[in-house]
Structure 1
Amino acid sequence: MPLSALLPADSPRVSGVNEEHARALAQTEDALPPIVVHAPSMRVVDGMHRLRAAQLRGEHTVRVRLFHGDESAAFVLAVRANIAHGLPLSLADREAAARRIVELFPDWSNRAIAKVSGLSDKTVGNLRERSSAEDPRLNRRRGRDGRSRPVDASEARRLAGELLERDPGRSLRSVAHAVGLSPATVIDVRDKLRQGEDPAAAGRTRAVARPRPRAATSGMRTSETTRLHTLENLRRDPSLRMNDAGRDLLRWLEVHAKLPAKHETLVRSVPPHCAETLSVLARDCSAWWSRFAQQLELNRPDG
C-alpha cells in the first residue's frame, strides 16, 4: 500500500515515534511484519515505527493488514499489540492507555483493562477512582467473559438468594442469567444460604456459621442411608460402570460415602505427629470435591 495513503496512528505512546528505534529498524535487513491499518479511516493501528523505517529507507509502499473494527476497538488492538511486541510502552504510556480504555469501555472490569494495558488490577482501580464519582456509567463492569455486572452486587445476590429459596431445583445458570451475576457467584450465594449466612454479603462462606432453621435446610443434607442408597443407584447406571473413569469415580464415592459413620474412630486413630499433615491432605481433598461439585452443577442443563 502507498505510504501516502496512510494516516498517523491514534497511538498509546504519549511521546510519539522514537526516532532512534525507527532508524534501527530501517537498518535491519530482515523483512518487517505488515503494518496494521484501520480500514475505514486508513489510520495506522500498529506499526508507526515500521512506517517511519520505510520512509527512512526511501520506500514508497509497505505491506499492510487491514482491521475492520470500530475506532475504539482499533485503539484497544493498538495497546495490545504494543504490549506484546516491539518497543515496550512506558509506564506513563500504559497508564494513559488504561485511562483511555476506561473512558471508551467504562463497564470493562479492572482485571480486563489490566490484562490489555499491562498494568495491575490495583493500578487500574486507582486510575478509575479518579473519575468514577463523576461518571455514573462506571457503576458497572464488563469482565473478560463479556458479561456486564454491577459493581455493588449485593442487591443481585439478595435476589439470587430469593430465587434459590423459592425454587431450589432451578439451575444455577438460570438464576445467574436472571439476576446478572456469574454462575460462580450464585454458587457462593447458595452456599451462604446453606450455612445460614446473609447471601447479599460478598466473600467466602465462613467455615463456622450460625445454625439455620431446619425447615430452611430441608433436603440440603443427605442422611447416611440416603447417601448409600443413591450410591447403589449410581452403581447400576451403565454410563458410569461401563468405563474406567466412571468405575474410578464410583470407587472413590463408595469410600467417602462410608466415612461419616467412622468419623470419631478415624480422628482418634491419628497419632499427634501426623495430625497436621493429614489435616492439610484432608482439606486438599475437600477442596477438590467442592470444585468437582461446582463444575457438575454448572454443567447441568438448564431446566
Structure 2
Amino acid sequence: MDPSRVDIVALPVVEIELSRLSSVCSPRTSGEDPEHVETLLSAAGELPPILVHRPTMQVVDGLHRLKVAQARGDTKIVARFIDGTESDAFVLAVEANIRHGLPLSLADRKRAAVRIIGTHPQWSDRRVASATGISPGTVADLRRRGGEGGGEARIGRDGRIRPVDGSERRRLAAELIRSDPGLSLRQVAKQVGISPETVRDVRGRLERGESPTPDGTRRLRAKPHPPSWTEPDFGETLDRDRLALLERLKADPALRLSEAGRILLRMLAMHSMDGQEWERILRGVPPHLYGVVAGFARNHARVWAGFADRLEGGPADLAAG
C-alpha cells in the first residue's frame, strides 16, 4: 500500500466495538489532550469516523474521538478500515494528525520522521517532509544524524525514482531554461527527470542571478523580465489534494465550532483555487502592475511562512509570541 495514494474519504464507514481497538500506533507521545476531548464532547452532531488499521485494529487517526466515545459510555464507534503494513499505517497516522484536529508537536513530528526514515529509507527527504509536516532540510539533517543513506536513489512524492545527487539534473534544467525560456515547468521536468517544483526553484535561482544548485556560488544578478505566459504551472494535482484536505478541515469540530477556526477556514478556502483559476487571475494582472502585485504576493507568502513556522514550533513557540 502506498500511503500517499489512499483515498480515505472513499473508504466505507462501518461500526466497530470499542473493546476491539488499540491505540499503540499513535505518533502522539504525550497522549490525548483533555481540553481537546472536552471541545469534542461539547460539539453538536456526530463526529467523523476514525481510521483503523484492519490487521492490528490499531487506531490510526481519531484517538480523541475514541476518548469521547468512551466518555459518553458508547460501546461502538464509526470507523473506516485501511489495510497494508504497520509502517504504512504509521505514516497515515502521522499525515492525519498533522492535517486536521489537534496538530502534533514539533518533537513528535521529528520523532515520526526518524521512524519513517528507518521504515521507508528509499523515500526522498521531500516525501518524508510532506508526511510529517517538517522541512526537507530538517529531514535531511535527521537522516544524517541517524546515519541513514537511503541508497543512490529515492522515491519522491510523485512516486518517481530520482538520484540522491540531483545537481547534474539541476544544471541540465538550467541549460534548457536558458535555451528555451518558453518551456513550462512540467516540460522541463519531464525532459530532465526532476520534479516541477525543483524546476521552479532552478528558474527562481537563475532569475536572481544564482547558481541552479543550492550549494553553488552566487552569480551576477540577471535583469528582471516580465512573467512568461506560455503555460503557467500551479501544480494542478497538488491543488486537487489540497481541496480534498480542505473539505476534511471544514468538517473538523475544533475549527468549525470556533470563530478563529472559521476565519482560518475562510482564508484557506480563498487560497485553495485550482490551477485554471490561478492562471485566469495571473493573466488579468496589467503589465504595469507586475512588480507591485508580485511584491504583495511575496509579502503575503512571507506572512504565511511565518505563520507556518510558529505552528511548527508547537505550543511553546505560540506562547512566546
TM superposition score normalised by structure 2: 0.49
The alignment status of 1:27 with 2:41, answered yes or no, reads: yes
> Which whole-Å CA distance do the structure 2 matches of 1:109 and 1:15 have between them?
28
* Residues 118-163 of structure 1 deviation map (CA, whole Å, 9 limit, x = unaligned): 21222222211102xx334254332222122222246788999xxx
1:39 corresponding residue in structure 2: 54
Report what 2:153 is aligned to.
140
Matches for 1:1-303 after TM superposition, within 5 Å: 1-18=16-33, 20-21=34-35, 23-25=37-39, 27-30=41-44, 31-131=46-146, 134-153=147-166
Structure 1 residues 177 and 115, CA, compared in 2 at 3 Å: closer, same or farther?
Answer: closer
Whole-angstrom CA distance in 2 between matches of 1:84 and 1:27: 21
Alpha-carbon spacing, 1:21–1:8, altered in 2? closer, same or farther (3 Å): same
| CA gap 1:207/1:15 in 2 versus in 1, 3 angstroms | same
% identical equivalent positions: 52
- Tell me the secondary structure at the aligned position of residue 135 of structure 1: coil
* Counterparts of 1:129 and 1:185, CA distance in 2: 22
Q: Per-residue deviation at 1:180?
A: 6.4
Contact 1:26–1:56 under 8 Å retained in 2: no
SS in 2 for 1:137: coil
Secondary structure in 2 aligned to 1:45? strand
- Conserved? CA contact 2:36–2:102, under 8 Å: no
CA deviations 1:70-122 (Å, max 9, x no partner) are: 32221111111111111121111111111112112222222222222121222
Stretch moving more, 58-67 or 71-80: 71-80
User: Relative contact order (C-alpha < 8 Å, sep 6+): which is higher?
Assistant: 2
Structure 1: gaps of 5 or more residues: 161-172, 187-198, 209-280, 285-303
Structure 2 CA distance, aligned partners of 1:120 and 1:201? 15
Name the aligned partner's letter for residue 24 of structure 1.
E
- Name the CA distance, whole Å, in 2 between partners of 1:154 and 1:86: 39
Query: Could you report, residue by residue, the CA deviation over 1:187-230 in whole angstroms, capped at 9, with x for unpaired residues?
Result: xxxxxxxxxxxx9998699789xxxxxxxxxxxxxxxxxxxxxx
Instruction: Name the Cα RMSD after superposition.
Output: 5.0
Q: Which structure has the larger Rg over C-alpha atoms?
A: 1
d(CA) in 1 for partners of 2:19, 2:197:
52
Structure 1 residues 74 and 200: CA distance shift in structure 2, 3 A: closer
Q: Secondary structure at the match of 2:157?
A: coil
Match of 1:235 in 2: none
Distance in 1 between residues matched to 2:29 and 2:124, nearest whole Å: 24
1:46-81 Cα offsets, whole Å, 9 max, x none, are 011111111111110000111123322211111111
2:49 and 2:78 in contact (8 A); partners too: yes
Report how many aligned residue pairs link the two structures: 218
TM-score where L is the length of structure 1: 0.51
2:55 counterpart SS class: coil
Q: Is the 8 A contact 1:9 1:48 kept in 2?
A: no
